[in-house]
Amino acid sequence: MSSEVAIRVENVSKRYHMRHPVTTDTEEETHELWALKDVSFEIKKGESVGIIGPNGSGKSTLLKILAGVTKPTSGKVEIFGRVASILDIGAGFHTELSGRENVFLNGQIHGFTKKEIAAKFDAIVEFSGIEKFIDEPVKNYSNGMYLRLAFSIMAHLDFDVYLLDEVLAVGDENFQNKSAECITKWKDEGRTLLIIYHDFNSIKNVINREIDILKFSGHSNISIAKNDSETAEEWDFVWNDNYLDRVCIPTDRLFRRGKITLSSKIILYITAASGSGLAASDIYTLADLEKVEGHFVIKLGFKLAVGRYIFQILQPLVNSHEVLDSCIVHVTQNHGTYFTFGQEVNSVIIV
Amino acid sequence: MNPYTLITSEPDSMQVYLKKIWRSRSLILTFARRDLKVKYAQTYLGLAWTILQPATGIVLYTFFFGYLLELDSGSVPFVLYVTSGLLAWNFFAYGVFQGTASIQESAQVIKKIYFPKAVLPLSKITVGLVELAISLVLIIPLFFWFGIMPSWRIIFLPVAVLLTALNAMSLVFWISALSYRFRDLIHIVPYVIYFGIWVTPVFYARSLIPEILQPLVWVNPMAASVEFWRWCYFDAYDISPLFSLSVGFNLLLVIIGFWVYTRNETKFTDFA
């Protein structure tokens, strides 16, 4: 892994104007919605980084800004290398055109020349497995064929940086396997990956197959009950340096400092979604580090504003000499939302 | 060398944006090819529609305005007069109608993948250009029929095409740049197309307009374009000096429109 920077995000904020006013935490009415506030991080070449966070936390907005689809309200993004924005599988396909024509159309929308696409054409078709139907209009394709062809295009064109929006969530198991393989391949080739996950289930299968999910035998959950309400949040983290080698976290306005040193081995960065209603006084951190069957288990507890979520990120110190062999981060919430990442991801950004 | 992307809150300058369009020129053609293919896919008449539509217009206008109302068309036979104006007008109308719709139409793509969005209306203009070229065959037999030699000035026809395309792009820029917030502007498009033809000398001669209103004709940039088309076709056709003013005004509108467009383009996806 080189130390070259692939993506640099500096103080990026994004404001949306709402048609109808929303009420902020301080009971003010506003038409403004800050989807992102002062987000900064750097991703090095060859890193694969996962972004997790609840709905509305700005994950997609961040990815859209990186893809150039929308402009930040302030801040700066630099990307070194050719960017594949796979925010949607098959975006730009025209159903009346044949598979062959769509391969060229799609490749060109992604900024490739016809020549470059022609050079990869056979490989694209072969990987998609729809040789027989390549001259058939795409509207006659099954959903699976459509997805396979669309993904195959992205899989074969040469990009340096891949921005993926939960692509694994679509398609059947076969397709998911193929795309997981492909993501692993990109990672092995040293490409830079940025993946957002909305839903744990979308990658659960992949993880199950590829790595052993740790058995949480001895851990105790930390529950924090708010005096005024119901929420008992559970946060369990098991960390592994192998896959998540660097974790950074954008901080929102409430946590500008954004960095709390918890122990000599762990740096915890904290963030919260803009508008998530977290006040500094609302949060306290419980953290301790213990070794369970050769794995670190980090336990954290957060008190949350009612109905809102906070996500946090961990960074093992570079000088940590403990090498672990798998990583799972579990975030369990009262709604049953459950996020896990591992394998393809080597660092995590939580927005 | 690896490509480098810098993203800030600042929109692209006109120069940078033009460069982006230039780099996307093959995409323009690909989109245009796609549209042509899709448009005529599974139709029996195919490209014949491109001839049939203006031909119908020519027949109707000639019958009502030339034959029934006996409108004056000056030194040029009425059918030829209508044809020469209508082909230009149709090209313009197609560019405006499709061009303004093209960005809306591609909302799904532009939200997922970045490319300079002006590529979309430009590809529609390209489609219009192909259809214009095809429909131009309508005028050839008319020249023969009336035994009129086209003027040597016909070599300026590409300029006429360019002027008309700029007219269309100007409106597309203005409407696209502002309609993402002010949706009302979308409703202006049918006005321009259905009623615009009445304030443009397509099926009546400019001379029919009272002297006092004559300068007003040139406020309409399309009037200048249509007149220029005729000036290219017909030796006997004179053009007012006001024409050059109108062209200048038109160019100014395009440039300012393009500037406003580049300032606003990146906001489309937030509102689409």
Domain tally, chain B: 1
Is B5 among the domain residues?
no
Is B8 among the domain residues?
no
For residue A266, give its domain range: 210-339
- Say if CB A54 and CB A27 are below 8 A apart: no
Q: Please report residues of B whose CB lies closer than 8 A to that of A113.
A: 26
Q: Please state whether beta strands B4-8 and A286-292 pair in parallel, antiparallel, or not at all (unpaired).
A: unpaired
Is A56 among the domain residues?
no
**Cα(A278)–Cα(B191) distance, integer angstroms:** 51
Average of per-residue pLDDT across B251-265 = 92
pLDDT at residue B258, rounded to an integer: 94
Q: Which residue intervals of chain A are DSSP H helices?
A: 59-67, 99-109, 114-128, 143-156, 173-188, 201-210
CA distance B172 to chain A (A): 21
Residue B241: CB atoms within 10 Å: 7
CA distance B81 to chain A (A): 39
Q: Please report residues of A whose CB lies closer than 8 A to that of B114.
A: 67-69, 85
Is A158 among the domain residues?
no
Q: Is the pLDDT of residue A346 over 60?
A: no
Average of per-residue pLDDT across B190-200 = 87
Is B272 among the domain residues?
no
The mean pLDDT value of chain A amounts to 58
Q: Is the pLDDT of residue B272 over 70?
A: no
For residue B70, give its domain range: 14-261
Average of per-residue pLDDT across B58-80 = 83
For residue B95, which of B242, B254, B269 has the smallest C-alpha distance? B254
Is B24 among the domain residues?
yes
Q: Is A111 on the interface with B (CB under 8 A)?
A: yes
Q: Is A101 on the interface with B (CB under 8 A)?
A: yes
By CB atoms closer than 10 A (0-12, 13-18, 19+), residue B149 is exposed
pLDDT at residue A235, rounded to an integer: 27
Q: Is the pLDDT of residue B185 over 50?
A: yes
Lateral strand order in the sheet of A310-316: A259-261, A266-272, A310-316
Is A241 among the domain residues?
yes
**Is A79 within 8 Å of B112 when comparing Cβ atoms?**
no
Q: Which residues contact B231 (CB under 8 A, 6 or more apart)?
A: B151, B153, B156, B237, B238, B239
Is B57 among the domain residues?
yes
Bridge partners for A43 per DSSP: A7
Q: Is the pLDDT of residue A330 over 50?
A: no
**Cα(A222)–Cα(A231) distance, integer angstroms:** 12
Is A232 among the domain residues?
yes
pLDDT at residue A119, rounded to an integer: 93
**Cα(A244)–Cα(A347) distance, integer angstroms:** 4
Q: Is the pLDDT of residue A87 over 50?
A: yes
Give B77-117 pLDDT, tens digit per residue.
Answer: 888 888 988 999 999 999 999 999 998 888 888 888 888 99
pLDDT at residue B161, rounded to an integer: 94
- Say if CB A183 and CB A193 are below 8 A apart: yes
> Could you give the C-alpha distances from A249 to A43, A305, A331, B220, in angstroms and in order?
11, 20, 16, 56
- Which residues of chain B have a Cβ shorter than 8 Å from any chain A Cβ? 2-9, 11, 26-27, 30-31, 34, 37-38, 41, 108-115, 266-267, 269-270
Is A38 among the domain residues?
no
Is A294 among the domain residues?
yes
For residue B38, which of A91, A118, A139, A142 has the smallest C-alpha distance? A139
Q: Please state whether beta strands A295-301 and A338-339 pair in parallel, antiparallel, or not at all (unpaired).
A: unpaired
CA distance B64 to chain A (A): 39
Nearest residue of chain B to residue A80 (CA atoms): B4
Is A268 among the domain residues?
yes
Is B266 among the domain residues?
no
- Which residue did the predictor score with more confidence, A337 or B176? B176
Nearest CB to B112; choose among A80, A88, A97: A88
Q: Please provide residue B10's backbone torsions phi and psi, each rounded to the nearest 5 degrees.
A: -75, 135
pLDDT at residue A3, rounded to an integer: 62
CA distance B25 to chain A (A): 10
**Which amino acid belongs to residue A214?**
L
Nearest residue of chain A to residue B20 (CA atoms): A111
Nearest residue of chain A to residue B31 (CA atoms): A105
